[in-house]
Structures are given as structure tokens and as C-alpha cells.
Amino acid sequence: MKHEKTLINFKKAQGHVGKIIKMIENGEYCINIMQQNLAVIGLLKSAHQMLMENHLNSCFLSAMDSGSKKKKQKMVEEILKVTKIVGK
């Protein structure tokens, strides 16, 4: 399975989010909640990076090898779109 490590990160993040919700409901100290939140952010960034690398090494390369200028342009636009989202 090519997305196995990515899926593990998403599941870990999901677990952390559940913990964060309970922490907030229990009125725990803000810094502890923020530390858990940073762990989730790190896991999601890592998963995003893995997805991007896989996409570039498969779908993107395939599109660039194709003779279709339209397909190539669409692929470039998609990459720009998801990298802009990350930069915000």
C-alpha cells in the first residue's frame, strides 16, 4: 500500500485531536492543549509532504511524460494550488 505511512500519520493525528477535545472539555491548561495541537499540525504537515512526494513521483511524472500540453498545465496548476494552501 503506497499510502501506508501517510495513513498512520492521519490516524495518529485523529487520536491526538480526540485527546485535545477531551482536554478542552476538562478545562486543562492551555499550554498543554497547544502542545498537543502542535503535534497534530506536525503529523498533518508530514502526511501532506508524503502525499506530495508520492504525487510528484507518480501522477505528476506521468503527466509530464505525456504529450498533452493541457494535461501538463493542469498538473502544474494543481501543484501550485496545494502549495499555496500550505503557505497560508
Which of 16, 15, 20, 13 has the alpha carbon at shortest distance from 44? Answer: 13
Per the structure, the count of domains in the chain is: 1
75: domain CATH number?
A: 1.20.58.1000
**Closest C-alpha among 74, 39, 16, 42 to residue 50:** 42
Indicate the pTM of the whole model. 0.82
Whether the predicted pLDDT of 54 surpasses 70: yes
Residue 88 has pLDDT above 80, yes or no: no
The boundaries of the domain holding residue 43 are: 4-87
CA end-to-end span of the chain: 31
What integer pLDDT is reported at residue 83 of this predicted model? Answer: 86
